[in-house]
Amino acid sequence: MKKVYRSACPQDCYASCGLLVYTENGRVTDIKGDPDHPLTRGKVCGKVRRHLDRLYSSQRILHPLVREGSGWRRIGWDEALDLWAGKLEEIKHRYGTTAVLHHDASGSNGILRGIGKRFFNVYGGVTVPEGSLCWASGKAAQLLDFGGHQMHEWDDLTNSRTILLWGRDPAYTNIHLLEYLRQAASNGAEIISINPVRIQTGISNVRHVCPRPGTDGALALGIAHVIIAENLVDKKFIEQHVLGYDEFAVSVRNFTPERAAEICDVPVEKIIALARRYATCGPSAILFGYGMQRYTNAGQTVRCIDALAAITGNIGVPGGGANYVHQHWKQFLADLSGREYAKSGRTFPWPALARYILEADDPPVRCIVVTRSNPVTQLPDTNRVRRAFRAADFVVVIDFFLNDTAAMADLFLPCTTFLEDEDIVVCSWNNYISYTPAVIEPQGESKSDLAIFTALAEKMGLSDFGYLTPREWLQKALAPVVALGIDLETLKQGPVRNPAAPRVAWADRRFATPSGKYELYSQQAAGLGLEPLPSYRHPAALSQPDQNYPFYLLTPHHRDFTHSQFWNLVPPDSLSPLPEVEIHPDTAASLGLETGAEVWVETPRRRIRGIVKPAEDIRPDVIRIFQGRWASLNGGVNFLTPDAVSDLGNGSCYYDCRCRIYR
């Protein structure tokens, strides 16, 4: 029998595309875009096809495995969970529950897939990473500036006359945005990309500003200087809604475009033109990506950029905004994490997690549990991550494949994909949530994350875990929004927009800061040991120029993969044998490296092999290798990256990295 189900992509991505899943006699036969999704409208990226490849991949592990010597032994679920439960009991008894570390990220955005958090809180509270590998620095910055997070609806871009794409590559990471950018451009908006790489948008007339990596804060302060010196500020907005303008104006007096130009390597005239365009041809929108905040100075960088919106009054107006991250749907749902049950807890800064694991002794980390993440591939400084995993006595990984992290596990438990059990997917970046039904039975012996943790809790007699069915958990999560007319039945009809999300961010100008104003001057920042005003410091890579490592290494997100997901599903003949090392042709020529040459790329931590690919669009001092390729598939770019922690929010600093390249 043929059936069609409405579903949504669970990947952690800007879109969470609406999908139509086709089945025939209990098998998924096709996955397509759902034309009725209000935002993604049937358009999906090439990764969606991979969900099907993954579901039926012969590499997929469909039964529990336990480490035996250098290999694996297949075991039953009962034995697997007994083993795990025994370890957890023993650790609790000998060291306390915080000797367990739970590493859970966003490999899937299904809310029930995060249920491991509840298990570990009910267990007593464990060690968890704090901050994020992803967006934490900028998020913390906007919390200081605005007191919260709000974004404009995508279609509001058509009201903008100037759009700054700041450290973002929508053709790679957010294809749906391109359509809105195209519309804005055809309405006459000017789009300016600020990025060390001239990104390809397919839109003509995009202006490119290509600063030296990690120097965007200086660029923004140079722009602020021009806006203030030429009196292009929005006085009324500042008077009514901004705290600390006078102090800020004094502080940027010395930040002339000449000084900014020297730091950023952007011509003075370009900085002045950018300032005038942004301030006088509004409404002007800033669309942040996350590239400019993967540096040690990241929090302050985002504060410097936010300041431009504040001094020009591009806040709370259609077509304006400093769009970084939105008010998350999750805050309107019931919290299933069971944090009220945790009796203890410990946090380690996420980017430096491995360092903290290796140094922990009160208690040491004895057990690491990995869900929805692949830390050995995705955390920085892979050597150190491997050492940290080796130091733990017992490692459990719940995933689909034996990836780089699973290769370090003592126990591997196979989980279901979003096609095999029901859930709700919450998008990290737009205002929609979607229901994802079970369209087929779980493959093999795989179980959902929920089923796994429920069975483990039962074995351990943790009655506070609560033994609900998936449906009941979903209803519990939705309980707070039933009053708004949203329940599971509504969601089954199609995605639902967060009714509380504004279409124009901060339209009411009620900022949730201590002063109730936008805070250019932030006492809270001072409390965190930062300058209270947005200010610039060199990123580590720039403050210690090193002739041994003359290039900046950028390792951004690949168009065809979500981080480490799907790399193993590409036929070997359509994947280059080694990672492509993109380098400006002039640089390649000066180093005598021809296209296709095999090279080493080396940082103070390690070197990896790659293949030279000339790229005109990259700054001559930058080398680019896309992140995500498994170490076991000749990738492993995070062997090279630093585990530094940013100035704000415990954010990662992957791109704050210098390298050399040689044959």
Ligand X SMILES: Nc1nc2c(c(=O)[nH]1)N[C@H]1C(S)=C(S)[C@@H](COP(=O)(O)OP(=O)(O)OC[C@H]3O[C@@H](n4cnc5c(=O)[nH]c(N)nc54)[C@H](O)[C@@H]3O)O[C@H]1N2
Chain positions contacting ligand X, by CB under 6 A = 12-14, 105-108, 113, 133-135, 166-169, 172-173, 194-197, 199, 211, 213-214, 216, 289-292, 294, 371-375, 378, 398-400, 403, 415, 449, 554-559, 561-565, 627, 637-638, 641, 654-655
**For residue 243, what are its two tokens?**
């705290």
Q: Closest CB to Mo ion among 136 and 315?
A: 136
To ligand X, the closest distance from the beta carbon of 21 in angstroms equals 16
Q: Closest CB to Mo ion among 381 and 602?
A: 381
To ligand X, the closest distance from the beta carbon of 655 in angstroms equals 5
Token pair 């694991």 is found at 357
**Range in contact with Mo ion (rule: CB under 5 A) among 24-32, 130-138, 150-158, 207-215:** 130-138
Q: Closest CB to Mo ion among 556 and 642?
A: 556
Provide the terminal-to-terminal Cα distance of the chain, rounded to the nearest Å. Answer: 58
Q: Closest CB to ligand X among 291 and 532?
A: 291
Q: Closest CB to Mo ion among 17 and 134?
A: 134
d(CA 404, CA 401): 9
The option from ligand X, Mo ion, none interacting with 169 (CB < 5 to 8 A, set by class) reads ligand X
To ligand X, the closest distance from the beta carbon of 558 in angstroms equals 6
624 closest CA partner among 567, 555, 560: 555
d(CA 32, CA 48): 8
* 132 strand-pairing partners: 651
CB burial class (10 A; 0-12, 13-18, 19+) of residue 136?
A: buried
| Phi, psi for 556 (deg, rounded to 5) | -80, -170
To Mo ion, the closest distance from the beta carbon of 328 in angstroms equals 14
Angle at 646 between CA 640 and CA 649, to 5 degrees: 130
To Mo ion, the closest distance from the beta carbon of 461 in angstroms equals 37
For residues 580 and 610, the answer to whether their CB atoms sit within 8 Å is yes
Calculate the alpha carbon distances from 100 to 125, 367, 387 in Å. 9, 5, 16
**Range in contact with Mo ion (rule: CB under 5 A) among 133-141, 209-217, 341-349, 640-648:** 133-141
The option from ligand X, Mo ion, none interacting with 567 (CB < 5 to 8 A, set by class) reads none
Query: What's the order of all strands across the beta sheet hosting 27-33?
Result: 2-8, 18-24, 27-33
The answer for residues whose C-beta is within 8 angstroms of residue 99's C-beta and 6 or more apart is 91, 127, 363, 364, 365, 366, 367
Q: Closest CB to ligand X among 403 and 430?
A: 403
157 closest CA partner among 176, 138, 131: 176
To ligand X, the closest distance from the beta carbon of 245 in angstroms equals 25
Closest residue to Mo ion, judged by C-beta, is 134
To ligand X, the closest distance from the beta carbon of 446 in angstroms equals 10
* Stretch (H or E) spanning 243: strand 242-243
d(CA 190, CA 604): 41
- The CA R_g of the chain, rounded to the nearest whole Å, is 25
For residues 259 and 133, the answer to whether their CB atoms sit within 8 Å is no
| Torsion 140-641-567-200 (CA) sign | positive
| Phi, psi for 131 (deg, rounded to 5) | 90, -150
Q: Closest CB to ligand X among 363 and 437?
A: 437
Calculate the alpha carbon distances from 67 to 408, 541, 626 in Å. 9, 40, 32
To ligand X, the closest distance from the beta carbon of 338 in angstroms equals 18
Q: Closest CB to ligand X among 133 and 353?
A: 133
To ligand X, the closest distance from the beta carbon of 97 in angstroms equals 21
Burial 95-127 (b: 16+ CB within 10 A, else e): bbbbbbbbbbbbbbbbbbbbbbbbbbbbbbbbb
d(CA 140, CA 303): 9
d(CA 388, CA 365): 9
Q: Closest CB to Mo ion among 212 and 326?
A: 326
The option from ligand X, Mo ion, none interacting with 436 (CB < 5 to 8 A, set by class) reads none
Q: Closest CB to ligand X among 289 and 614?
A: 289
To ligand X, the closest distance from the beta carbon of 376 in angstroms equals 9
To Mo ion, the closest distance from the beta carbon of 91 in angstroms equals 31
* 104 strand-pairing partners: 371
* Residues numbered 481-510 forming contacts with Mo ion, rule: CB under 5 A: none
Q: Closest CB to ligand X among 13 and 143?
A: 13
d(CA 153, CA 289): 16
Q: Closest CB to Mo ion among 134 and 192?
A: 134
To Mo ion, the closest distance from the beta carbon of 618 in angstroms equals 22
Q: Closest CB to ligand X among 59 and 187?
A: 59
To ligand X, the closest distance from the beta carbon of 620 in angstroms equals 14
For residues 63 and 78, the answer to whether their CB atoms sit within 8 Å is no
Options 75, 126, 134, 369; binder of Mo ion; rule CB under 5 A: 134
* Residues numbered 583-602 forming contacts with Mo ion, rule: CB under 5 A: none
Instruction: Tell me if 653 contacts Mo ion by CB under 5 A.
Output: no
To ligand X, the closest distance from the beta carbon of 370 in angstroms equals 8
Stretch 89-128: interaction string toward Mo ion, x if CB under 5 A: ----------------------------------------
The amino acid occupying position 496 is: V
The option from Mo ion, ligand X, none interacting with 386 (CB < 5 to 8 A, set by class) reads none
Q: Closest CB to ligand X among 11 and 513?
A: 11
557 closest CA partner among 171, 285, 297, 272: 171
To ligand X, the closest distance from the beta carbon of 563 in angstroms equals 3
The option from Mo ion, ligand X, none interacting with 627 (CB < 5 to 8 A, set by class) reads ligand X
Report H helices in 312-446.
Answer: 353-359, 375-378, 382-391
Q: Closest CB to ligand X among 13 and 242?
A: 13
Read off the DSSP letter of residue 349: E
| Torsion 467-125-294-244 (CA) sign | positive
Could you list the residues that contact Mo ion (CB under 5 A)?
134
